[in-house]
Amino acid sequence: MTLILNNDHVQRALNVEECLAVMEESYLEQAQSRAVNRPTSQTYLPHSLPQATYNFKSVDGGVKKYGALAIRITSTIDQEQHINNTVRLEKLPLANGCYVGLIQLFSVETGELLAIMPDGFIQQTRVGVTSALGMKVMARKDSRVLGLIGSGGQAKAHYRYMTAVLPIKKVKVFSPNAEHRRAFVAAMEKETGVAGEPVGSPEEAVRGCDVICSATNSSRPVVKLDWLEAGMHYNSIREFETDLEVLNKCDVIAIHTRFGGIQHYQPPGIANDLPGVRREKPRDWSQYPEICDLIAGKTPSRTNDRQITFFLNNVGTGVQFAAMGYCAYKAAKEKGMGHEIPNEWFLQDIKP
């Protein structure tokens, strides 16, 4: 049988401790060449709306220990918008007011399709869990104050998971909408039991913190380098919200993957990028260790409490979706969640 889940099933199935444990084990597998990733690719077509582009994204990866490989796909219309004095890339809910993003989980033993689920909650979770594990191995063990820039779904996951790996006592939160950040803090305090403090500027969110994290969809840097203080750990979830001069300032650096940029494909003969296509600047990522190497102890982390450390979750990977997809599938099966349909619907007797 193939299990069909929705985001509510996934959210109720996952728990913080299991997600952290499975993702950490998956990175250990990756460090020992027992997990695999394929770089993310994005394929574009022009769209009828202004400053908008159709984007089909895919990435896959698998973890031998869990016997699972996942492919994550999204089918979106992306539009550049000017909001609060910054340029943001917004996904438009044009599919009956909703979005399209799916994860398909396969058995690496039989090849069959184990589950289909939306990518929404897992997308937020896999980034937050990875950031938390990076913080766990790179931040000072006595870190107490977290500065968080952002108050959307990614910021929720980072509040949830980063407060679970170190003894964080307070989270200072900035986002441009004052009402939204106050509501965000109230909700996350209730969920995690960790006190939050809404603040009026990104600098105020950063100053005096042990750990800082930017979790936004900004197309411009949101943290200034002169705000960084000795002993801090800085976490960023994407290249575009980061001043990459930080790579020359920090003492210990780790990235998510040496794959570097996303593979972009648009129709031939178009001289310039379509609106909404964001290309990373060419950079030799091979000089930086991947976070799995720090987690596995193959590469050293900080050696003293004065060092500034930096983790850039530069590109997502299929291993993350395999790990979190496996978590959701396993827990949902155990709890009797979701809907089972005959796997014969996805099988054929003609050799592919």
- Please list the pLDDT of the chain residue by residue as tens digits (352 residues): 999 999 999 999 999 999 999 999 999 999 999 999 999 999 999 999 999 999 999 999 999 999 999 999 999 999 988 877 777 789 999 999 999 999 999 999 999 999 999 999 999 999 999 999 999 999 999 999 999 999 999 999 999 999 999 999 999 999 999 999 999 999 999 999 999 999 999 999 999 999 999 999 887 899 999 999 999 999 999 888 999 999 999 999 999 999 867 899 999 999 899 988 888 888 888 999 999 999 999 999 999 999 999 999 988 999 999 999 999 999 999 999 999 999 999 999 999 9
Q: Where are the beta strands (DSSP E) in 92-144?
A: 100-107, 113-118
Residues 6+ apart with CB under 8 A from 178: 198, 200
Q: What Cα–Cα distance (Å) separates residue 5 from each residue in 10, 32, 119, 121, 317?
A: 7, 31, 10, 11, 21
131: tokens are: 């950031």
Q: In what order do the strands lie in the sheet with 170-174?
A: 195-198, 170-174, 145-149, 211-214, 233-236, 309-312, 252-255
Vertex 157 angle, CA 339 and 336, to 5°: 20
141: tokens are: 């063990």
CA-CA-CA-CA torsion sign (129, 133, 139, 145): positive
Instruction: Name the DSSP letter for residue 345.
Output: G
Distance CA 127, CA 316 (A): 8
CB atoms within 10 A of CB 223: 22
| Unique residue bearing structure tokens 């379509």 | 274
Distance CA 122, CA 280 (A): 24
